């Protein structure tokens, strides 16, 4: 009985370690880019993409990058940022998902900005 119990614990620990390593790899290699609902995309979107080499945070949005870099969000700044990142992110896209307000708020530090 003791060997069987120890074997199960060892297997369970192995599974947990493999899942943790897989999760860490996903965190390091992929990211989520959130596009708030705006005129050209009224439903918004969340893009899961390969972020290696982009130097972007795991969860980001145009508004979040503007807040981080400039301390404010403007309509012009949002448009310029989206235009600059659209190509690289779409080239690395894994899948498009529905807009996630939760991820948007994570990217902006909990702040919401006018559309």
The set of residues, in sequence order, having a beta carbon less than 8 Å from that of 7 and lying 6+ positions away, is: none
Would you list the domain boundaries of the chain? 29-107
Task: Band the pLDDT of 114: cuts 50, 70, 90.
Answer: confident
Helix axes of 62-70 and 75-91: crossing angle, nearest 10 degrees: 120
**pLDDT value, residue 93:** 96
**pLDDT value, residue 8:** 86
**pLDDT value, residue 115:** 66
Residues 33-62 pLDDT 10s: 999 988 778 899 999 999 988 899 999 999
- What mean pLDDT comes out for the span 90-102? 95
Residues 66-86 pLDDT 10s: 999 998 999 899 999 999 998
Residue 62 has phi, psi (to 5 degrees) of -60, -45
């Amino acid at each position: 009985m003791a060997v069987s119990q120890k074997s199960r614990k060892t297997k369970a620990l192995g599974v947990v370690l493999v899942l943790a390593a897989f999760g860490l790899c996903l965190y390091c290699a992929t990211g989520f880019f959130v596009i708030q609902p705006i005129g050209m995309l009224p439903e918004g979107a969340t893009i899961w993409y390969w972020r290696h080499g982009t130097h972007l945070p795991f969860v980001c949005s145009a508004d979040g990058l503007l807040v981080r870099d400039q301390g404010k969000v403007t309509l012009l700044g949002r448009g310029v940022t989206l235009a600059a990142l659209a190509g690289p992110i779409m080239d690395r896209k894994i899948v498009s998902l529905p807009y996630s307000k939760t991820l948007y708020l994570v990217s902006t530090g909990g702040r919401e900005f006018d559309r």
